[in-house]
Amino acid sequence: MILIPQRLFGNPEVKTLLRDGNVCILEKKLSTSLYEREGYISNHVISILLKGQQKIKTYEEKTITIHAGEILFIPRGLYHITDLVPVEGYFHSLLFYFNDTTLEQFLSTASVREIAKKNIPEFLKIGVNPTISFFATSLIQIYQPNKIQDKTFLNIKILELLHLINELVTDQEFVEFIFQLTLPSKRNIKQFIQNNFDKPLKIEDYAYLTGRSISTFRRDFKEQFDTTPKKWLKEKRIEKAIHLLEEKEWSVTQLAFEVGYENISYFIKEFKNHVGLSPKQYMLSKNRNFLSN
């Protein structure tokens, strides 16, 4: 699984227009299609698709399809993403990644009446709109060649996009959708964590994805598993690493990524603390035992 947008930085097919940490505006151009990549999108994202087609499958197995000219706004979370290049062409999109602070800034300036809190969509898709298309292409033309890196412009441009979208949807729909992002619905902790313990997620990510504050997540987790999230995750990840090494040989880097570690040195340390051997020593020991038998 890849972390997005983190994994996109430095990708030759992705250009950074403006960036402040993981809040950023990126331009993505692909010459070949990419299929069913599992990714954790760590910030909310608005995708303006300029060329090609994109299919996104949510954790709940709902598939969203967007075409050239359309706009998709999805909350941060786990998704399977397919980028399709049209015949004799290329895939082209402009991506806006932002956090809850940006949403709070927008809500503070938007006209908010009573929030319905019911029948609010999980994502927002908007059809082809010339105003948004012009906004996207002008951003690329201005910021890509000039390499302007003032963080003030980044926040202004994201807020400008949010207000432009707000003018395209009816009544309170956009404000209610954004308000919902600050109150994610609860998921079953036990089911979710057992299905996703081997993903490179932090405790705060698991808390958000199950619809809880960090303190509530820790409390509910302790009730379900009778231990702390950190201890349980470490044991499950190392257990899976041992199981994988019993099946075949892995490079330490591949093994670490497979069980949810982005920091290879930290994975080696955790493995050795749990097993008494480093992953490489464990593989060598296993091979010696195999040959002696």
114-119 average pLDDT score: 54
Q: pLDDT band at 184, cuts 50/70/90?
A: low
CB 42 within 8 A of CB 32: no
How far is 268 from 271, CA to CA, in rounded Å? 5
Query: In the chain, where are the structural domains located?
Result: 2-181, 189-292
> Cα 252 to the chain's mean position, in Å?
24
- Of 199-203, 230-234, 288-292, the least confident: 288-292
How many angstroms separate the Cα of 116 from the Cα of each of 23, 55, 170, 174?
29, 29, 14, 12
**Cα angle 9-12-18, degrees, rounded to a multiple of 5:** 45
Sequence-distant (6+) residues with CB within 8 A of 34 are: 81, 82, 83
CA–centroid distance for 100 within its chain: 14
Tokens of 27: 């331009």
Question: Is 219 or 181 the better-scoring residue by pLDDT?
Answer: 219
**Furthest CA-CA distance within the chain:** 75
Asked whether the beta carbons of 203 and 230 are under 8 A apart, the reply is yes
Q: Point out the least confidently predicted range of 110-124, 244-258, 269-283.
A: 110-124
**pLDDT for residue 205 is more than 60:** yes
Mean pLDDT of 28-34: 94
CA angle 140-100-211, nearest 5°?
130
Tell which residue, 39, 42, 7, has the closest CA to residue 208: 42
pLDDT of residue 224: 93
d(CA 251, CA 275) in angstroms, rounded, equals 17
Render pLDDT for 84-107 as a digit per residue (tens, 0 to 9).
Answer: 999 888 999 999 999 989 988 888
DSSP alpha helix (H) spans, 226-278: 229-247, 252-258, 264-275
CATH (residue range 2-181): 2.60.120.280
Local confidence band at 291 (pLDDT 50, 70, 90 cut-offs): very low
Q: pLDDT digit string (tens) for 219-241?
A: 999 999 999 999 999 999 999 99
In the CATH hierarchy, which fold is given to the domain comprising 189-292? Answer: Arc Repressor Mutant, subunit A (1.10.10)
**What's the predicted TM-score (pTM) here?**
0.83
User: Comparing C-alpha atoms, which of 180, 153, 176 is closest to residue 166?
Assistant: 176
At 21 the pLDDT is 92
